[in-house]
């Protein structure tokens, strides 16, 4: 049995793709577990269907826990439920950005804590409809020492979905690569309130992207010893912005829906890291503050 904490877009995607009868959502403490969660599922290819998934009952011991809450909710959400699970239950974190994964690993270093980086895309255009909007790859790797032995078992359990799931010994490096792209696209789309491709011609982007890429290059080199020039980072960011030109980023969507964004775990994480490492990060700081202001209004 696989337990899923966080019945939002990504949690519902894994819920719908895992074999029926082998998956359950984890209720918040004190919430009832007697009614199933039911929703319509529109797969990437094929006809729509209705999915019905139970909540994990007291005493049920999952073999794996997927955590699909937003980064800012993850530590508290896990703290509320983790004691009901055996010490050797692998916990797989799906959050974008960085900071929340390390916070969980630091809090429970004796548990097998893993992190995933995924390019699967899911959204909920209506509360009761889950759309698998884009398919890609999911990499899984260890965040704590005890997790090293759980990687292949975890990958095998998720591969039962038919999705492409791979082991990744250096998951931090993979999370950093995604962080770079998110840091170079998401805040601009939120501030400018535009789809990904439109940032490229905007004055704010053009005036700050070279300095942002200088910050990203220095931070990545100091934190995970990956050397990439600012020009190369800019090219990668712009390639992704062009390839996803019509898409609305999750950060822009969160601002439009007046939901908390993950800025503190993207540019906010980078600005904080810059302070710790003595690297000057004025653009990450400016983008963080401007997105925080949007969310607070
Ligand atoms: P989401 O739709 O907002 O889902 C998060 C869910 O967690 C919500 O249903 C929320 O419930 C629930 N939650 C919050 N606190 C909880 C708690 N204490 N106990 C149980 N559930 C709790 O977000 P998402 O799009 O699925 O994204 C989740 C994470 O995956 C994010 O870090 C995101 O960056 C990452 N990710 C998402 C995608 C994607 O395609 N969606 C792709 C890659 C990575 P309420 O709504 O009631 O607060």
pLDDT in tens, 244-268: 999 999 999 999 999 999 999 999 9
Residues 97 and 117: their CA atoms lie apart, in Å, by 9
pLDDT over threshold 70, residue 135: yes
Q: How far is the CA of 49 from the centre of ligand 1 (A)?
A: 22
Give the confidence band of 227 by pLDDT, cuts at 50, 70, 90: very high
For ligand 1, is residue 65 a contact (CB within 6 Å)? Answer: no
The reported pLDDT for the residue numbered 295 is 84
Instruction: Answer whether 56 contacts ligand 1 (Cβ < 6 A).
Output: no
Q: What is the mean pLDDT of the chain?
A: 97
Active site residue 45: no
Q: In what order do the strands lie in the sheet with 64-67?
A: 23-25, 2-5, 64-67, 91-93, 113-118, 137-142, 164-167
Q: What is the pLDDT of residue 42?
A: 98
Residue 96: CB atoms within 10 A of its CB come to 20
- CB-count exposure of residue 125 (10 Å: 0-12, 13-18, 19+): exposed
Q: How much of the chain is helix, strand and coil, in % rounded to 5?
A: 50, 20, 35
Residue-wise pLDDT for 37-53, tens only, equals 999 999 999 999 999 99
Mean pLDDT (whole number) for 257-280: 97
pLDDT digits (tens, 9 = 90+) for 182-225: 999 999 999 999 999 999 999 999 999 999 999 999 999 999 99
CA of 99 to the centre of ligand 1 (A): 16
Q: Give the residue whose CA is nearest to atom 21 of ligand 1.
A: 6
Distance 94 CA to ligand 1 centre (A): 9
Q: Which of helix, strand or coil describes residue 74?
A: helix
| pLDDT > 90 fraction of the chain, expressed in percent and rounded | 98
Both tokens assigned to 87: 């010490």
Query: Quick one: pLDDT at residue 296?
Result: 77
Predicted confidence (pLDDT) at residue 297 exceeds the cutoff of 80:
no
Taking Cα atoms as reference points, which of 163, 179, 182, 241 lies closest to residue 206?
A: 241
Q: Which residues pair with 4 in a beta bridge?
A: 25, 66
pLDDT digits (tens, 9 = 90+) for 59-118: 899 999 999 999 999 999 999 999 999 999 999 999 999 999 999 999 999 999 999 999
pLDDT at residue number 59: 86
């Amino acid at each position: 049995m696989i337990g899923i904490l966080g019945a939002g877009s990504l949690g519902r995607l894994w819920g719908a793709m895992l074999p029926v009868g082998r998956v359950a959502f984890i209720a918040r403490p004190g919430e009832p577990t007697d009614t199933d969660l039911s929703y319509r599922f529109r797969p990437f290819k094929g006809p729509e269907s209705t999915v019905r998934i139970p909540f994990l009952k007291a005493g049920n011991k999952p073999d794996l826990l997927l955590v699909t809450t937003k980064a800012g909710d993850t530590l508290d959400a896990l703290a509320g439920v983790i004691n009901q699970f055996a010490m050797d239950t692998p916990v797989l974190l799906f959050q974008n950005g960085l900071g929340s994964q390390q916070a969980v690993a630091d809090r429970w270093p004796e548990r097998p804590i893993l992190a995933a980086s995924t390019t699967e895309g899911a959204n909920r255009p209506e509360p009761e409809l889950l759309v698998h909007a884009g398919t890609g790859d999911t990499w899984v790797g260890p965040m704590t020492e005890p997790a090293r032995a759980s990687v292949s078992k975890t990958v095998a359990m998720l591969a039962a979905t038919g999705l492409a799931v791979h082991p990744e010994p250096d998951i931090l490096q993979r999370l950093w690569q995604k962080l770079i792209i998110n840091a170079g696209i998401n805040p601009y789309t939120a501030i400018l309130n535009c789809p990904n491709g439109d940032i490229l011609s905007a004055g704010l982007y053009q005036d700050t992207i070279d300095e942002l890429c200088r910050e990203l290059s220095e931070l990545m080199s100091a934190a995970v010893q990956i050397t990439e020039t600012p020009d190369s980072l800019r090219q990668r960011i712009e390639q992704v912005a062009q390839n996803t030109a019509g898409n609305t980023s999750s950060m822009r969507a969160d601002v439009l829906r007046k939901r908390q964004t993950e800025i503190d775990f993207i540019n906010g994480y980078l600005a904080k890291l810059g302070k710790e490492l003595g690297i000057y990060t004025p653009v990450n700081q400016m983008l963080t503050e401007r997105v925080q202001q949007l969310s607070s209004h």
